[in-house]
Each structure stands twice: as C-alpha cells, then as structure tokens.
C-alpha cells in the first residue's frame, strides 16, 4: 500500500517491543462480538493510482463543465477567473498540510496571512474587524443572527424577503432549535428593493434586520434608511453579501451603517466546486462588538526578542476554552480558502478590484440590454451589479433552463428552483455575468433563449 511506510518486519519488531504477539492484542478493548475478522465485505480492495484516476475521471466526464459552455449561473456562487499563481501557493505543503496555528512560533506563515486576510476583509466591507473565516456565507449569516441576539439580548430577527432563500432556510433551521424567532417574507417582484415594508417590520423586540446587498434578484438599495430605522429601535443591521467583487464598484455595507457584515468569499480565489468548500466572511463595524464575534481571530503581538509576530487571540470566546458558554461551536474554519482569497485579493489590489468590478458591470449591462430585446423577455431590475432578473412573460423558467442546457448553454438559475411553490417566481430567471463571459456568450444566450421561449408552451 503506497501510503503505509511500515513493513511487516517493522510491525513484528514493534509488536515485540510493545509485548504483543498479534495486532489484535492491541484491539482487545473492542468487544469481541463487534470486532471484524477481515476486510468489510462487499467493498472493493485497494487500487493503484492509475485505476483510481481512471474511475474518478469517468465520473468527472459525466458533468457539463461551466468553462466549456456559455455560462450564466450565480445566485450565491460566481464563476470568476482565478489567476494561476493562487493555486500554486495554496498547494505549497507548508500551507496545505499545516493545521490551526496552535503553536504560533512555527505557524507565522498562516498567522500573518490571516492578519492580512482580516485586514482586507474589514476594509472592503467598511468594517473595523473581520475574523479568520467561517464555513460559508450561509452559516456566517446564521452566526450573525446569533451574535445579534447576544448583543441585544433580544430573540427576534427580521429577514428581508430578498435574502437568498437557502440562507434564510439555514437561519430558520437553527432558530427553530435555539428558540429565536425569525420573521421572513417572500421577495417583492419590483424593479427596486422594497424597503418601507421591511422598515415597518422592525420593532422594540427586534435583535437584527438581515438584508442582502446586492439582493437575491440582483437589485441594489441604499441601506442607510434601514440602518437608521434599526438603530432607532435598538436593533442591529446585518448585511449579507454573496458577491464580493461587487464591493469594488458599490458602497461598502459599513459605510451605510451595517453593524455586522457577512458574506460568501468564494468569488475570489476559490472557484465553483459544486458548492463547497467555500469561505464565510464575518466582520463588525464597531470594535466594541469584537468579544461577541464567533470564530478564530488573529492578532498582532511581539515575541521574547521583541520581534513582531502573530497569534490566535481572544480565545476565551471559543469552545476549547469556554465549552458550553462559547460564542460558537466552530473549530475548523476555511483556512486554505481564506489563503486563496487573500492571494487573489493581493494580486488584484485596489486597482485590480475596481477594474474587475467595472468589467463585470460593463458586461452585465451589455447582457441586460441584449436580453431585453428577446421577444417576451423583460429585465426586472432598475439597478444591478453583475446579476439581474429576467421575467419570461409567463413561460416556465425551469423548463427553459433545462432546454437551454440541452442546447449547450447554462443559462442562469430559475427562481422557481430557489422558491419552490411560489407561482409568481416560476417565470423568473436569474442571470449572472462576470469577466469570464464573452460577448459571443451573451449573443448565444440571447439566440438560444429566444428559440427556447418560442418552443415552450
């Protein structure tokens, strides 16, 4: 077995040293009735690299690769170009095969990287402090709600109807068990986000309002009035961002008064990966909230010789110290995805992030204009960044999406899939455009969409 260095001679010598005659002497505490004699039946035996590779490639070949067709899916996961050097760096064994930096003297690489990551995230979210990452945007969203209930000592969270429905599901699932109350709603299908209704739902019992920016339909709203309304009632504003590239073009949530900003970091460095692993981002605007934050935090300090160094800090919030009183149960986070994000963000810098955002927006505007010309199709949004909603004039979006796939175009996400059972959204299609989209791709989508609509009753 190519991964097991012990030889039978080694094993015999080691057993002799231990004073055991047989390996099973070391398993005597396993009740005999439960101990297995040989390899578990019905499973294959070990296989060569070549054989395993052949099997895995066969499975991979059954998938339609996003990069090989005109591709327009978003809804919380975006296809961006990841510079080649990102993958080279994350494959360095010193990063790939390290673990949580419990011994800071020999983990300064990971720790300094996390300090840089926290600084980048805090700045582009318009916040004071970011943590060292969580699992993904949806779990970060729940952690934000949980934190808001701790800070305000209230138990009710108001969710915007235009929050990603899967994020809302995660929050509702958790709240059901913690006894927190979640007020959710369906998205209003309007060209601009409907803020007055949301503001009207905030009261003195509200721990936080959760708003997505840009929202699930791709729309953008000034969040300042919501922040003011929330603060007037003693509630916090939680802003969720699923497309970090957008923040190279639009105001940061922190600037508009968000108290907690969370999001998905997958767009930078991580790739699509069929939904995971992704990267949960979490930041707070006011440093006084730091001690209520979940997850690992990296801080600057000095060593015994007075040199600057970094350590994990404020761990009295965490499960390994506080046990049942911890702010979260999280242990392993998304370290390597955070590294990928930081390397990509370093390559972009202020200049590159702004250029990348501008290019996304330019192509999205082109696409919106072109698709609006398809008979029977309307663009819902007034404002958007790189994703917008198409109304298909009563045609079923899910069927059209499948039809487009048969024509070799991955044409978007049908809102009916995200909101099953909501009739009004069955005819809506979410289309995302990034720098990887070409003008030919847009033309192809427009042509195929027109044909698909014609053929669909």
Partner 1 sequence: MNAPNKSGWKPEMQVAEDGFLGGPVTSTGNRGLMLEEPLLFEIGRKDVTGVDLPEVDPAAPTRLGGLAREEAIGLVGLTEPETVRHYTRLSRQNYGIDLGFFPLGSCTMKHNPRLNEKMARLPGFADIHPLQPVGTVQGALEVINELAHWLITLTGMHGVAMSPKAGAHGELCGMLCIRAALEARGDKRDVVLVPESAHGTNPATAAFAGFRVEDIPATPEGRVDVAALRARLGPDVAAVMITNPNTCGLFEKDFREMADAVHAAGGFVYCDGANFNAIVGKVRPGDLGVDAMHINLHKTFSTPHGGGGPGSGPVVLSEALAPFGPMPFTARTADGVVHLVEEESAAEFGHTQAFGRMTAFHGQMGMFTRALTYILSHGADGLKQVAEDAVLNANYILRNMEDILHAPFAASGPCMHEALFGDKDFTNGLSTLDVAKGLIDEGYHPMTVYFPLVVHGAMLVEPTETESKAAIDQFITAFRGVVERALEGDEALKQAPYYSPRRRLDETGAARKPKLAYEG
The interface with partner 1 within residues 250-309 (CB under 8 A) comprises 250-252, 255, 264, 271-278, 290, 296-305, 307-309
DSSP assignment of 344-405 equals HHHHHHHHHHHHHHHHHHHHHHHHHHHHHTSTT-EE--SS-SSEEEEE-TT--HHHHHHHHH
Q: Which is nearer to partner 1, 322 or 454 (CB)?
A: 322
Radius of gyration from C-alpha coordinates of the chain? 25
Determine if 120 is a binding residue for partner 1 (CB under 8 A): yes
Determine if 237 is a binding residue for partner 1 (CB under 8 A): no
Determine if 393 is a binding residue for partner 1 (CB under 8 A): no
Please give the distance of CA 418 from its chain centroid, rounded to a whole number: 16
Q: In the bound complex, what is the minimum distance in angstroms from residue 346's beta carbon to partner 1?
A: 5
Report how far residue 313's alpha carbon sits from residue 315's, in angstroms, rounded to the nearest whole number: 5
By CB under 8 A, the residues from 58 to 117 that bind partner 1 are: 58-68, 71, 73, 75-77, 79, 83, 85, 87-110, 112-113, 115-116
Q: In the bound complex, what is the minimum distance in angstroms from residue 379's beta carbon to partner 1?
A: 10
Specify whether the CB–CB gap between 140 and 132 falls below 8 A. no
Binding mask 326-355 for partner 1 (x = CB under 8 A): x-xxxxxxxxxx-x---x-xxxxxxxxxxx
Binding mask 352-391 for partner 1 (x = CB under 8 A): xxxxx-xx-xx--x--x------------xxxxx------
Q: Which is nearer to partner 1, 233 or 407 (CB)?
A: 407
Q: Given candidates 70, 130, 216, 452, which one binds partner 1 under the rule CB under 8 A?
A: 130
Report how far residue 39's alpha carbon sits from residue 149's, in angstroms, rounded to the nearest whole number: 50
Specify whether the CB–CB gap between 77 and 275 falls below 8 A. yes
Question: What is the size of the binding site for partner 1 (CB under 8 A)?
Answer: 215
Measured in Å, how far apart are the chain's first and last C-alpha atoms? 58
Determine if 248 is a binding residue for partner 1 (CB under 8 A): yes
Q: Given candidates 177, 196, 204, 457, which one binds partner 1 under the rule CB under 8 A?
A: 177
Report how far residue 138's alpha carbon sits from residue 93's, in angstroms, rounded to the nearest whole number: 29
Determine if 240 is a binding residue for partner 1 (CB under 8 A): no
**How, if at all, do strands 236-241 and 206-212 pair?**
parallel
What contacts 358, CB < 8 A, 6 or more positions away? 248, 249
Q: Which is nearer to partner 1, 235 or 357 (CB)?
A: 357
Q: Given candidates 159, 170, 236, 374, which one binds partner 1 under the rule CB under 8 A?
A: 170
Specify whether the CB–CB gap between 410 and 64 falls below 8 A. yes
Determine if 8 is a binding residue for partner 1 (CB under 8 A): no
């Amino acid at each position: 077995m190519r991964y097991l260095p012990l030889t039978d001679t080694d094993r015999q010598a080691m057993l002799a040293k231990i004073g055991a005659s047989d390996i099973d002497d070391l398993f005597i505490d396993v009740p005999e009735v439960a101990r297995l004699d040989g390899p578990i039946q019905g499973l294959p035996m070990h296989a060569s690299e070549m054989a395993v590779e052949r099997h895995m490639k066969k499975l991979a070949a059954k998938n339609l690769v996003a990069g090989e067709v005109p591709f327009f899916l978003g809804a919380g996961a975006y296809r961006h170009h990841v510079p080649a050097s990102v993958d080279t760096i994350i494959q360095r064994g010193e990063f790939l095969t390290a673990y949580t930096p419990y011994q800071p003297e020999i983990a300064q690489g990971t720790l300094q990287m996390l300090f840089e990551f926290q600084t980048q995230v805090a700045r582009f979210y318009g916040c004071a402090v970011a943590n060292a990452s969580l699992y993904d945007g949806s779990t970060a969203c729940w952690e934000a709600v949980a934190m808001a209930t701790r800070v305000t000592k209230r138990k009710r969270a108001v969710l915007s109807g235009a929050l990603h429905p899967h994020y809302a599901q995660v929050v509702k699932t958790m709240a059901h068990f913690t006894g927190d109350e979640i007020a959710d709603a369906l998205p209003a299908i309007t060209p601009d986000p409907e803020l007055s209704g949301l503001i009207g739902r905030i009261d003195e019992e509200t721990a936080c309002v959760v708003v997505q920016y840009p929202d699930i339909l791709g729309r953008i709203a000034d969040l300042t009035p919501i922040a003011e309304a929330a603060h007037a009632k003693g509630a916090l504003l939680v802003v969720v961002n699923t497309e970090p590239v957008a923040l190279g073009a639009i105001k940061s949530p922190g600037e508009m008064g968000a108290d907690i900003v969370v999001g998905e970091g997958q767009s930078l460095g991580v790739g699509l990966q069929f939904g995971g692993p992704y990267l949960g981002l979490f930041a707070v605007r006011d440093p006084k909230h730091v001690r209520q934050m979940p997850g690992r935090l990296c801080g600057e300090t000095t060593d015994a010789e007075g040199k600057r160094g970094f350590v994990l800090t404020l761990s009295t919030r965490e499960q390994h110290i506080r046990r049942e009183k911890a702010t979260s149960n999280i242990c392993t986070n998304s370290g390597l995805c955070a590294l990928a994000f930081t390397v990509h963000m370093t390559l972009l810098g202020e200049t590159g992030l702004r250029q990348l955002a501008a290019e996304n927006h330019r192509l999205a505007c082109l696409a919106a204009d072109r698709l609006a010309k398809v008979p029977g199709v309307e663009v819902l949004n007034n404002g958007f960044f790189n994703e917008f909603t198409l109304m298909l004039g009563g045609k079923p979006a899910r069927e059209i999406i499948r039809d487009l796939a048969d024509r070799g175009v991955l044409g978007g996400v049908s809102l009916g899939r995200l909101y099953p059972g909501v009739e009004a959204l069955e005819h809506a299609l979410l289309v995302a455009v990034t720098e990887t989209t070409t003008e030919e791709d847009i033309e192809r989508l427009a042509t195929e969409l027109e044909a698909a609509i014609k053929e669909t009753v």
